[in-house]
Amino acid sequence: MSTEVVATSAISAEQQPSPSAPAQEKVNLLGMSRPQMEKFFEDMGEKKFRAGQVMKWIHQFFVTDFAQMTNISGKLREKLEKLCVIEAPEVVHKNYSKDGTRKWVFRVGDGDGSLVETVLIPAEHRSGLRRTLCISSQVGCALDCSFCSTGKQGFQRDLTQAEIIGQLWMANYSYMEDVPVLERERSVTNVVMMGMGEPLLNYDAVLNSMRIMLDDFAYGMSKRRVTLSTSGVVPKIDQLVKDIDVALAISLHAPNDELRNELVPINKKYPLEQLIAACQRYIAKDGNESSRKHVTIEYVMLDGVNDHPEHAQQMIKLLKNLPSKINLIPFNPFPHAPYGRSSRNRIISFQKTLSDAGFVCTIRQTRGDDIDAACGQLVGQVADRTRRAEQWKKKIAQSNEIMRSQG
Ligand code: SF4
């Protein structure tokens, strides 16, 4: 597959969100949820229905210039011009793969050089073309999962609501930049909060961003098409049930506590028993009406680490009382990664064991290999600061030796 690299300057100056320097003190409307924007308008002495009108211009017509908001009076537009901006994070790099995968690196914040990544993966589905956007929620991540490129960078800071929703705005806009304003449509069909960072550790900003995704005055996405993926921050899973109805995915990656403590260290704080119980509480009683009919279990396939037949058996036992769909993810190696990708045969046999036990179990297609589409890879081309790679290589070699000696 070849890669088409598109220069950032390809975005027309007219439509690229306003430059940040002169706008620092202005309020950025991009990240405001409807209640927040309604309050903002009321505080300005305006009618709150203006919020819905402005949100439509921003999130459905991808307009950043108040002059283009033709159903708003000239007087109000002038006022907004003085007080506000509509400003997405700056695109510093973008890659569009021939297979349709798109990837952006955004600079976020006030010139501190923080970068985050966003990946869009298209796929044919029986209901039509799906464009799924994987959105980041933090710069770096504190949780240090041992197979994760982002985890190797450490934690820098939480993203703001504007920086989170700005990723969705920019992905949609990338299909619409040459389309006349009134003919523009929303192109991204699905969102997974599964990029850089642990979304439940940036709870309020992520929650409000998801509210904007679901809002009919903004992206109007179905609650089944917005998925929050967590490594298992148990108290926040319980909070999420109360606050919003979206789909939940768990980055499981190991079927027993010993292995999960190593791969996903937050497991030491919230072990599997607690995590599975929280998932059971998340499943809605009126399952048919909700996005919470099942939980998606994400399981990255690491060669010789978590892909043995007994791991599949442990999964069956662990998940037997949890309505779930399992997604096996072939590991996408990054520089200094201590792991390799499980062989195709190993992944297929793992899938067969789970399918035979009655689980819906899919294997994620690897896409965008030519543009380092696994999250955190572009930004994460950094040295492994934790030196865990070496320790893990040794451990895997030892474990494989034991497996071999046991026949
Ligand atoms: S897998 Fe997710 S939670 Fe774990 S280190 Fe990476 S970004 Fe953080």
Task: For 175-210, write each residue's pLDDT tens digit.
Answer: 999 999 999 999 999 999 999 999 999 999 999 999
pLDDT at 396: 55
Question: Domain boundary at 85, 101, 117, which?
Answer: 85
| Nearest ligand 1 atom to alpha carbon 144 | 5
231 lines ligand 1 (CB under 6 A): yes
Together in a domain, 104 and 128: yes
The pLDDT value recorded for residue 151 is 84
Q: Domain for residue 9, yes or no?
A: no
- Which pLDDT score, from 0 to 100, does residue 378 have? 45
How many domains does the chain divide into? 2
Closest listed residue to residue 149, CA positions, set 375, 396, 398? 375
pLDDT at res. 405:
65
Most distant pair of Cα atoms in the chain: their distance? 80
Partners of residue 250 on adjacent β-strands: 230, 297
Q: For residue 314, what pLDDT is reported?
A: 98
* Residue 226: predicted pLDDT: 97
Measure 231 CA to ligand 1 centroid, in angstroms.
7
- Looking at the domain assignment, is residue 10 inside a domain? no
Task: Judge if 270 and 286 occupy the same domain.
Answer: yes
Q: How far is CA 53 from CA 59, 67, 209, 273, in A?
A: 10, 14, 18, 47
| Residue 11 located in a structural domain | no
Tell me which residue has its CA closest to atom 5 in ligand 1.
Answer: 151
Same domain, residue pair 201 and 289: yes
Here the CATH number for the domain that contains residue 163 is 3.20.20.70
Ligand 1 contact via 151 beta carbon (within 6 Å): yes
- Domain identity same for 317 and 369: yes
Q: How far is the CA of 266 from the centre of ligand 1 (A)?
A: 10
User: Is 8 part of a structural domain of the chain?
Assistant: no
By C-alpha distance, which of 256, 253, 261 is closest to 302?
A: 253
Q: Which of 145, 237, 260, 261 to mutate to test the pocket of ligand 1 (most atoms within 8 A of CB)?
A: 145
Are 70 and 151 in the same domain? Answer: no
Domain that holds residue 28: 23-85
Out of 65, 85, 105, a domain closes at: 85
Mean pLDDT by 10 residues, the chain (407 residues): 34 41 75 97 96 98 97 95 95 92 88 84 89 95 92 90 98 96 96 96 98 98 96 97 95 98 97 97 72 90 97 98 96 86 97 98 76 49 42 58 60
Residue 253 Cα to ligand 1 midpoint, Å, equals: 11
Record the tokens describing residue 159, joined without a space.
Answer: 């993203």
Final residue belonging to a domain, choices 85, 105, 137: 85
Question: Do 143 and 53 fall into the same domain?
Answer: no
47, 123: one domain: no
* Ligand 1 pocket residue status of 150, Cβ below 6 Å: yes
358, 306, 357: which is closest to 329 by C-alpha? 306
Q: Looking at the structure, tell me whether residues 390 and 273 fall in a common domain.
A: yes
Contacts of 245 (CB under 8 A, 6+ apart): 223, 284, 290, 291, 292
Give distance in angstroms: CA of 237 to centre of ligand 1: 16
Q: Give me the CATH number covering residue 57.
A: 1.10.150.530
Q: Both 247 and 361 in a single domain?
A: yes
- Return the residue matching tokens 């705005």: 169
One domain for residues 61 and 205? no
Tokens of 229: 């993926």
Answer yes or no: is 406 within a domain: no
- Note the pLDDT of residue 337: 85
Distance in angstroms (rounded) separating the CA atoms of residues 144 and 348: 28
Is residue 373 domain-shared with residue 268, that is, in the same domain?
A: yes
Residue 14: inside a domain, yes or no? no
What is the spatial distance between Cα 108 and Cα 90, in angstroms, rounded to a whole number?
7
Residues 167 and 130 grouped into a single domain: yes
In a domain, 5, yes or no: no
The catalytic residues are: 117, 375
Cα 284 to Cα 200, 227, 364, distances in angstroms? 19, 15, 26
Note whether residue 1 is domain-resident: no
Ligand 1 site, residue 251, Cβ cutoff 6 A: yes
**Residue 291 one-letter amino acid:** S
